[in-house]
Structure formats: structure tokens, C-alpha cells
Structure 1
Amino acid sequence: MLRLLQIEFQKLWLNRTSRILIYVSFIFPLSILILSSIKINFFGLFIIDLSETQIFEFPYIWHITTFFIAFFKFFFAIVVVSMIGNEYSNRTLKQNLIDGLSKKEVILSKFYFILAYSLVVTALVFVITLFIGISNAPSSALYVDIIFDGTEFILGYFVKLLTFFSLCLCVGVLIKRSAFSLGFLFILYIAEMIFYALTKFEWSNTQTADSIFQFMPYTSMWNLINDPITRMINVNNPGEMRPTDYAVHWYEIVIALSWVAVYIFLSYRLLKRRDL
């Protein structure tokens, strides 16, 4: 595993574009630090200081940061898709096979990088969230059980990254070219949303559509971390509480990880059948 990971890392590190993309991708999660210090001035009438709201305190902060930082995964996709595109354009993929790597090892090296990349990004988000939470929490709330209540969202974030990057890997192997691969990922997302809307219209029941589409690629990733907007409203308006289930459920993780297995298997089958 370490040998394959080292091979993949060396190829990316020697590519200037890939190196820059990786650096930038680690900077994006830091943007949540800026968000936690924003003060919004409404034409001089009143000022909203986000740091004074409870949304940046434990346990809510785990939910808030993982949900919003997850949107940057579409930028992270450029790193993964470029990794595959460069293999074809620079012919390093064929060279790896000549040097003795099997096609299975080639795919595994990509997957190991994706796994390591997801772990590092998740660890960074964990540290940032912990820092923001401790900085905004009152001293009376700094207890271990309170601080780490809600860390299951970190697990959900990691699985979401791993699933999405595995999808990017599969699409990259299928299409070869980075720009077309990114376009296909976007088209796939739009198509799933259209089919979801049509299903909801056909059945006239959102619950039925949700139960069907929880097994679809993008929806399975979305379900890992639910929209925290209503939770933010509930925190600041306790008199208007809306009961909502925000938990990260085990079956949602299983569905997403099942897609990871499918994407890696398809990537291998595509590469195995392809004449390089």
C-alpha cells in the first residue's frame, strides 16, 4: 500500500499544476475561519455578528462546518480528475504498466491517494472546527462530552469526500480528459436532480421520492450531512423549534461506501478492458 501511495504521490508532486491544486485545496477549508468572524452591516440599521450567535458553539459547529466546507469538494474534484487526465496525456499510465505495475495496482494507487487525501482534508476540517468551537464556546461549556458531541459529522464528511472522489476517479478513467470529465460530473448531477423532481411529481409524495433516491449517487452523498439551516434557525429562535432529524445514520454510510466499492470496481474493469 505504502509503495503504491508513494508512486502516486511522486507523480503528482512532480506535476506543477497538480501541486498547486493540492495546495489551494487545503486553503479552502480555512475559509470557515473567516465566516466565523463576519459582521454583516444592514445599511447602518443594525449589525449581525455571526460570532455572537450560538451556531459556532459546540455541538452545532461540527454540523455547520462540515456541511458548508463539503461544497468545496467540487474544487477538490479538479485534483482527482486531473490526476487521471495527466496519466493519459503524459502517457505515464502506459509507462507504469511497462515498469511492472498491474492495472489493478494502478487503480489501487489512485484509490490509496484518494483515501489519504480524504483523511488529511478531514483532519484539517476537524482541527479548524475544534479551534472555532473552543474560541466561541463559553468557559462553562468546555467539557469533553460537550466538545465532542456531534463529531459523527466528521465521519460523514470523510465518507462524503471518499465517495465523491471515487466517483471522480471512475469518470476520469471512463472519459480520460479532465474538462470533459468535470462536465460529465455536472451533467450527472443535473440529471439526477431532474429525475428526482419528475419522480416527486409523478408520485406526488416527497417521502416516496426520497426513499427511492437515497440510493442514487449524489443523493446518497447529500444525505450524509443534512442541511443545517433549520437547525441554525432553531438555535437562535428556540420558541420556533422545528423537529428535524440531523443525525448521521449508519445505513447512509453503508449506502455511500457501497458506491465507493462500485466506483473502484468499475474503474478497474474499464482500465482492464482498455488497450493502452
Structure 2
Amino acid sequence: MLRLLNIEIHKLKYNRASRILILIYFILLTSIALIAAVKFDIGPIKFHLAEQGIFNFPYIWHFNTFMASFFKFFLLLVIVSMMANEYSNKTLKQNLIDGLSKKEFVLSKFYTVILLALISTIFVFIVSLILGYIYSDFTEFSIVTTNLEYLLAFFVKLVAFFSFGLFLGVLVKRSAFAVGALLIWAMFESFVKGMVYWKTEDNVERIMQFFPLEAMSNLIKEPFTRLSAVKTVAKQVGENLSKDFSVQPLDILIVIIWTIIFIYLSYVLLKKRDL
């Protein structure tokens, strides 16, 4: 495992575009902290976003993992370009000539996916912990360690998303086309969701939870309607925003199964190709 990881880390180290994308990604993750600086002073109305409880423990684990998920596209570009470079630079063929099996090649990419997802999760954990201890009204250990399952969901979500990107990179061989294929699939899922909603509204969630991108999205549901301020406003206009925001084991299982499928299909494609 370490030998395969070292090969991929060496490739990333000497790829300038990948280094820049990874740097931008972690800078954007850090920028979550800038939300604390958002203030609006309009006459007597004073609004400070950090004072609305978004950085309170344990809510911060939900909020920060949800916000950090939006930046995953930068690492997706690293994954798909990593595969595209293997074809364009013919390093894939050279690795196989040097004795690396196709199975080991796919595993080396998957280990890289896991490493990037793990580093991202640890980074979000540290940023959240710092922000929480600065702004949270509750810092008891039992409260701080509540809802840490959102970090697990974040990790599983990244691994699955990057594995999807890896599969598309193997499939189409070009990074731009791989990203395009992902967007087309996202539009396809949206179309299917619309059709299912039109035909049988009550079964939308039950059916769509098995589609890959929808399953990943279900891991960390939007956190905004959990805020007490939003609930108060909703009650005043007669809306009921109560719903289950917890991480569901079934959603994690579905996403893990999709991850296995993506990696297996990547291997099957590579195995059948004449390189």
C-alpha cells in the first residue's frame, strides 16, 4: 500500500496544476472561517452571522462539513487530471512495463483518493474545532464530541465522489470530458428526479436515494433549517421545518456500495483495454 501511495504522491508532487488545485482547495476550506466576519449593520438592525449559532457545538460539525462539501470539485479536478495525464504522458503504460499490475495501478489511485479524503476530513475537523472553541456557547467535552458522525459522512462522501471521478477519468481518458460526463450525469439524475416527482411525488426520496450523486447528497443534509432563528421565522409564517438531519446508516451503505462499484468498473475497463 505504501509503495503504491509513494508512486502517486511522487506524481502529484511534480505536477504543478495538481499542486495549485490542492492548495486552492485547502485555502477555500480555511475560508469557512471568514463566515464569522460577516456582519450587517443597517440602522438599528445589527446582524452578525457567527452569533446566530452556526459555530456552536455540536451544530458546527453539520454546518462545516456541509459547506466544505461544495469545494470537493477542486480535488475532483486533481483526480481526473491525474488519470488523463497517465494516458497523455504514457506513464500508465510505463508503470505496467515496470511491473505494476493493472489491479495495483487502480489501487494506487484509490489509495490516493482515500488519502486526499482523509486529509480533507482531518483539516475540516481542526478548522471546526478551532472555530467552535472561539465562538461556541457550549464547550463541554460531551457536547463537543456529539454529532461527529458528520465527519465520517464527509469522508465517505469524498471517497465516493472522487472514486466516481476516477472511474470517469478511466472511461473517457480526458479530464475535461470526464468533468463534462459528471455534469451530464448530474443533469440526468435531476431529470429522473423531476419525472419521478411528477409521476409519484410520495416516492421520490425512496427511489432517488439509490442514485449515486443523490445518495452522496443525502449523507449530509442542508443544515440551515436547523437554526433556531430560521425555525422561529418559519413558525411565524405557519411553516413546519421539522425533519431528520441525522446521518443515516442506509445512506452510508449505499454510498460505500457505489464506491466499490466505481473502483471495480475502473479496474474492469483498464483490464479490457489494450494499452
What TM-score, normalized by structure 2, do the two folds share?
A: 0.94
Conservation of the 8 A alpha-carbon contact between 1:54 and 1:236: no
Change (3 A) 1:239 1:146: farther
Deviations 1:17-54 (A, max 9, x none): 11221222221111110012211345x56331111111
Secondary structure in structure 2 of the residue aligned to 1:56: coil
Q: Is the 8 Å Cα contact of residues 55 and 235 (structure 1) preserved in structure 2?
A: no
Task: Tell me, in whole angstroms, the C-alpha distance in 2 between the residues paired with 1:45 and 1:136.
Answer: 23
- Matched letter for residue 253 of structure 1: I
CA RMSD after TM alignment: 1.6
Aligned to 1:188: 185
Question: Structure 2: which 5+ runs fail to align?
Answer: none
Task: Give me the whole-angstrom Cα distance separating, in 2, the residues matched to 1:265 and 1:200.
Answer: 32
Change (3 A) 1:245 1:234: farther
Residue 170 of structure 1 aligns with an amino acid whose one-letter code is F
- 2:205 match: 210
- Displacement of 1:78: 0.6
The equivalent of 1:227 in structure 2 is 222
How far apart, in 1, do the equivalents of 2:223 and 2:171 lie?
A: 35
SS at match of 2:271: helix
Sort the Cα spacing of 1:36 and 1:170 in 2 relative to 1 into closer, same or farther, 3 A.
Answer: same
Equivalent residues of 2:113, 2:162 under 8 A apart: yes
Partner residue, 2:90: 91
Query: Which structure 2 residues correspond to residues 96-175 of structure 1 after superposition, within 5 A?
Result: 96-138=95-137, 141-175=138-172
Separation in structure 2 between the aligned mates of residue 108 and residue 211 of structure 1, nearest angstrom: 33
Percent of aligned pairs with the same residue? 45
Q: Is the 8 A contact 2:52 2:229 kept in 1?
A: no
Count how many residue pairs are aligned between Structure 1 and Structure 2.
Answer: 271
Residues 61-86 of structure 1: CA distance to partner in whole angstroms, max 9, x if unpaired? 11111111101112221111111011
Q: Give 1:153 deviation, angstroms.
A: 0.6
Give the letter aligned to residue 30 of structure 2.
L
Looking at structure 1, the residues matched to 27 and 216 of structure 2 have their Cα atoms a distance apart, in angstroms, of 23
* Secondary structure of the corresponding residue to residue 47 of structure 2: strand
Q: Is it true that 1:62 corresponds to 2:61 in the alignment?
A: yes
Do 2:170 and 2:270's aligned partners in 1 also have CA atoms closer than 8 Å?
yes
Compared with structure 1, are the counterparts of its residues 238 and 45 closer, same or farther at alpha carbon in structure 2 (3 Å cutoff)? closer
3-state SS of the aligned residue for 1:48? strand
> 2:77 maps to which residue?
78
State the partner residue of 1:10. Answer: 10
CA shift in 2, pair 1:236/1:56, >3 Å: farther
Q: Which runs of 5+ in 1 are unaligned?
A: none
In 2, the alpha carbon distance for the partners of 1:101 and 1:46 equals: 64
CA contact (8 A) 2:28 2:71 kept: yes
- In structure 2, what is the Cα distance between the partners aligned to 1:236 and 1:50? 16
What per-residue deviation string (whole Å, max 9, x for no partner) do you get for residues 107-154 of structure 1?
00000000011000000000011111111123xx22111111111111
Q: Which deviations, in whole Å up to 9, do the C-alpha atoms of 1:146-201 show, x marking residues without a partner?
A: 11111111111111100000000000000000111111111110110111011110
Instruction: Give, in whole Å, the separation in 2 of the partners of 1:99 and 1:146.
Output: 52
**Equivalent residue of 2:54, what SS?**
helix
- AA matched with 1:168: G
Q: Is the 8 A contact 1:55 1:64 kept in 2?
A: yes
Inter-partner Cα distance in structure 2 for 1:160 and 1:239: 30
Counterpart residue number, 2:30: 30
Using the size of structure 1 for normalisation, the TM-score is 0.94
Looking at structure 2, the residues matched to 239 and 252 of structure 1 have their Cα atoms a distance apart, in angstroms, of 28
